[in-house]
Structure 1
């Protein structure tokens, strides 16, 4: 099936909003892709897993870490016989041809729960003209990541939205602020939006801020305003470092990319437990700092014997966040600052 060209990229207004500094080093070229079949969808799933394994030598885009971590990365580089993979990434409009790859990304969106992935992928495709960003590689047809925002009130009757809200509701039952979660999640008339952002875990951090800035700015294209945003994301702990420090006095550990203080003067939300987490997507820590509600659950490992997977060296958790719309200007400001430093 012949591919279709992607959109021409961001509008001049949006590019002006993001700023030229953030765009530096990120191309904006149309890309041609091919829609797949059910067989191709499975092949994409296997291919994406292979990519995660192969680029694990520099996992998460983190250069620092303990001597153990550095030795591990060195061993992986020697095993693969290369220092890393070079690619020119581009932020483009989501294409119809991205449908199958979006389904692949969404299969791990909810943990241990099946839901209508096809319906959610189709919904993302249907609103691509209004909102949504795709990460692609120059000369490649496949998707490496995407981001969009979905109105829960508009699509309340869709099974995928109901399944996601039900899933989050079930996971926050033991939260100390459960009643607040319940009020927002169960109200069909609540102006709640779902931010869906998935990408290969160790893509360049530089892609995160501009993709978030553009996508959030495009929310106005949906024709409605929101009071709250719901985010489901994944974070991790370095298992080896965690074991080495478990019997010692806890030491706060923050992302090496973010400033140590909240520039907005807000109270710090970091705790001993949260401070040892790292984030696959660099922007998630900014969202968490400004979250009204947050709750996390441990993600079980399915196969501890895996050697060339990231799960062997990490302990992962699913993080749920509710962001008030009033916090978005502060978040966007932080993202702009972050985009100039990564």
Structure 2
């Protein structure tokens, strides 16, 4: 099938399905609005799964094996149609590629089909109160208990934990090992004694993420990805997937937000002001830079590319939040407030600069 024909197929499907009870989902659930219409968005996820749109970029036989151009076409058409913010993205874009790369055949057989069908949701158990950007400093512990592991500790800023069925958890299984060693990557069921989820109420009055407490929570030994102590390698692999093709999905939301800001600027007359019009043009140019950087690095990514991408999109999104506030006034406060965290979460921008520097210095030191 040609790319144009595929794009038309996506467009037609969305036009036929984002109707009726799903019509009200258009444009909802974006950054700072993840709390909106969750039950209906969950049904929408299952609609996507039944049609084969989840796992589009997974290699065969796990998914459709769509090339980058087809994945881009899906993301773009989804944005144009006003598709709601996704609830299964952590499983689809983070865990699934990790299991395909590092997991066992049994793990892939057990976990990939429910992700593809959107019958199981996932959350990410990385950040802790004392280990956010410094991920290797996690203190959550896991100890062997018969045929499984017992997990004790706290995670924070955990998106979707309040509705997730599973969490992939980075935990310390060998406290005597050096900082980046002795970590393990565990798949932990959320619906069990010993797991407590507490939503974090923001200044907006909503809760986009949570604290998660593990108090002797259990998972089977088969639910470790990689070998015990191999968690750092697997966890950083997940982060690379987070900023790979998944960034194209993120840019879907950015494009929709920019369209809304442009509409508000025209309605308020802000677009007629030359200074603000230049800022709006710069925002559009910046979004094209984000897109082309993502496309350029997908085929042959380097270790520093994900960090470069973070340094590109986080300040851009903050500037968009400022523009939204200028154009839309109080109605745009939610987006503005949400973007204040962009340079912190997902690894602070300072940490990303360190990663880039380490990568470049490492390349220099390896030269003959």
TM-score tier, shorter chain, comes to under 0.3
Higher relative contact order (CA 8 A, sep 6+): 1
More helix as a share of residues: 2
Task: Tell which structure's C-alpha radius of gyration is larger.
Answer: 2
TM-score under structure 1 length normalisation: 0.26
TM-score under structure 2 length normalisation: 0.25
